[in-house]
Amino acid sequence: MNYLEALNNRYSVKKFDPTRIVEPEKLYQILEAARLSASSMGLQPYKIYIVGSEPVKQQLIPAFYNPSQISTCSHLIVITSKKHLEKEYLDGYLRHITEVRGTPAEQLLRFKANIEGFTKDQNFVQQHWAEKQSYIALANLMFAAALEDVDTCPMEGFRADALGDVLMLDREKEQVSVTLALGYRAADDAFQTLKKVRKPTEKLFKFI
């Protein structure tokens, strides 16, 4: 499928077919798109939880304002973002670069100083910055799923505390950014027949 066809075909599913599970090969391909996502300074300040367990999904239902997607989806992806950029995290990232690329640690000192300078700037708000990065992963997951013919619904309509309790998140360290239900649309989900409501090109784009 051409990528614009895939984007036209995708919509935010309200009701999935509960009998259909996303095939593991497709799921891993889609997740790889999140792993390959770009992030500010490459720091990937987020974590991605994949809930495929039916009992856990059941426990998560009350955490959502609109639960029809959660009760019918194949998998629920929960993206959390880091609340703090700890020294150990930054050092671990720099070590990883050295391992993967063979870059000597001394050559990364300037990069490290740049990251520290950026994150200590008075305008830098760690939680907002980390959340913004997590939405890039969300977009890539949605796009990859559409290309794999897997349906999705991005969801922000949840009670973060309730979600955190079920997933036993460490609230000191991470917060839920956004979630994405995955599965196959139900034949009777009326939303699939609705036309897309989008700004016309002349209102959205300004060529300068």
Ligand X SMILES: Cc1cc2nc3c(=O)[nH]c(=O)nc-3n(C[C@H](O)[C@H](O)[C@H](O)COP(=O)(O)O)c2cc1C
> Which stretches of the chain bind ligand X, using CB under 6 A?
11-12, 66, 153-157, 178, 196
Tell me how far, at minimum, the Cβ of 169 lies from ligand X, in Å. Answer: 19
Tokens 């609705």 sit at which residue? 194
Q: Which residues are 78's β-sheet partners? A: 49, 179
Tell me how far, at minimum, the Cβ of 16 lies from ligand X, in Å. Answer: 12
Tell me how far, at minimum, the Cβ of 189 lies from ligand X, in Å. Answer: 11
Q: Residue 117 has what DSSP assignment?
A: H
**Dist CA 198 CA 111 (whole Å):** 40
Q: Are 15 and 186 within 8 A, CB to CB?
A: yes
Q: Which helix (H) or strand (E) holds 79?
A: strand 75-82
The residue (of 30 and 178) whose beta carbon lies closer to ligand X is: 178
Tally of CB atoms within 10 A around 63:
22
The residue (of 100 and 190) whose beta carbon lies closer to ligand X is: 190
Closest CA to 52 of 19, 75, 31: 75
The residue (of 85 and 141) whose beta carbon lies closer to ligand X is: 141
The residue (of 12 and 103) whose beta carbon lies closer to ligand X is: 12
Q: Which residue is nearest to ligand X (CB)?
A: 157
Planar angle of CA 86, 88, 91, nearest 5 degrees: 110
Tell me how far, at minimum, the Cβ of 174 lies from ligand X, in Å. Answer: 18
The residue (of 22 and 73) whose beta carbon lies closer to ligand X is: 73
Tell me how far, at minimum, the Cβ of 68 lies from ligand X, in Å. Answer: 8
